[in-house]
A and B are shown apart, each in its own frame.
Chain A
């Protein structure tokens, strides 16, 4: 088949389209966050996950080491079970602690892993037992108000 000027123009058009798609994937989207490195799964139970969502990052010392694969509710213990996929390159001791943290004041929530001191490392389907739930702002505020009220009550009692 002979190449003609039409082929060249259509080729340029399709190439610009592909470039635009590449720009969207790399610069606009989170393509560099999609990792194809081999991973292993670990799980942790939380009393309250707050606004944690699947695909949120798992960070240790601020570096992304994995992502949240799945969040489910366990009606035996009434806790949330969070399954995380951690990159094989990173190993954590079995007594590591998982906390649900928030990036910035209003940012999205992620899991922070803090390494423990054990010599045994977490393997596939390992479990993290030490967990700290998300801070729920309403609880924090109501606790603060309750303390305030208690304080002022004591002040009044002391004044009498």
Chain B
């Protein structure tokens, strides 16, 4: 093979890489629109969504609450050490509340949600596909996008903001437990500084918007990976791995974009 062939091959590889990724992105976008378009019937059968909320929401509750508590503890301790250096440990409440409502609440919840709920969604859908259950549904004229994917997507979109809110609230309480009874920051200053600095709409509201966006992203990536998985045991395991990697990275990237838009004034 001559040098010119090698160079041409290199361009070919690059082109193939770009084309493959673009087409899978297009496939995902089409699937997203198709799932949303088929969601109307869920208003008539909310039971399907409720069952899935139990699966992705309730069962994630314990890990979210416990992580929130410990993140709050650590924020309280570390925040106190740093603030104490400048003699402004009164601002501990503000520091804990702002970091939780703006960033840590939505982001850590989304990462844990991807690990706890996203992977099980991918594995479930992937095994359904491997067991040809999805094909069997199509044979019975039941649309798997509407019957299987849509309820899970909506359950994720509903559960994620609830979980993020619980995470933030538990985290603030954790920061309070470490800061006030344990270290001895003044309780009144802790809460009043917090209330003075945390805005209902620009901090708590934007955190909620973030968690909804992350909920859509993580749940849809998990469902897409399951739906497009190779119908083999290896295929399902690879799809589960990809779910965690892709959804974690997209949560962090989306977080940067959203923060830049929301808090730049």
Q: Please list 5 pairs of residues, one from A and one from B, whose beta carbons are closer than 8 Å in the complex, sorted by A's number.
A: A9-B58, A24-B204, A25-B200, A28-B97, A28-B168
- Which A1-58 residues have a C-beta within 8 angstroms of B? 1, 6-7, 9-10, 12-14, 16-17, 19-21, 23-25, 27-34, 55
Inter-chain contacts of A25 with B (CB < 8 A): 200, 204
B53 CB within 8 Å of chain A: yes
A-B CB contacts (within 8 Å), total count: 78
6 tightest Cβ-Cβ pairs between the two chains A and B? A17-B162, A20-B169, A29-B200, A20-B165, A20-B166, A13-B58
A124 CB within 8 Å of chain B: no
B118 CB within 8 Å of chain A: no
Give the Cβ gap from B113 to chain A, nearest Cβ, in Å.
14
- Which B188-220 residues have a C-beta within 8 angstroms of A? 191, 194-196, 198-200, 203-204
Contact status A10-B58, CB under 8 Å: yes
B61 CB within 8 Å of chain A: yes
B29 CB within 8 Å of chain A: no
Interface residues on B, range: 20 to 34
Q: How far is the CA of A32 from the CA of B195 in the complex (A)?
A: 9
Give the Cβ gap from B171 to chain A, nearest Cβ, in Å.
10
- Which B57-85 residues have a C-beta within 8 angstroms of A? 57-58, 61
Contact status B199-A1, CB under 8 Å: no
Contact status B168-A20, CB under 8 Å: yes
B51 CB within 8 Å of chain A: yes
Q: How far is the CA of A32 from the CA of B172 in the complex (A)?
A: 18
B170 CB within 8 Å of chain A: yes
Give the Cβ gap from B160 to chain A, nearest Cβ, in Å.
10
B19 CB within 8 Å of chain A: no
Inter-chain contacts of B162 with A (CB < 8 A): 13-14, 16-17, 20
B20 CB within 8 Å of chain A: no
A151 CB within 8 Å of chain B: no
B178 CB within 8 Å of chain A: no
Closest B residue by C-beta to A27 = B191
Give the Cβ gap from A61 to chain B, nearest Cβ, in Å.
19
Q: How far is the CA of A30 from the CA of B161 in the complex (A)?
A: 20
Contact status A29-B195, CB under 8 Å: yes
* Partner among B191, B195, B203 whose Cβ is within 8 Å of the Cβ of A33: B195
Inter-chain contacts of B170 with A (CB < 8 A): 20
Q: How far is the CA of A88 from the CA of B101 in the complex (A)?
A: 33
Contact status A17-B196, CB under 8 Å: no
Give the Cβ gap from B92 to chain A, nearest Cβ, in Å.
13
Give the Cβ gap from A25 to chain B, nearest Cβ, in Å.
6
- Which B81-130 residues have a C-beta within 8 angstroms of A? 97, 101
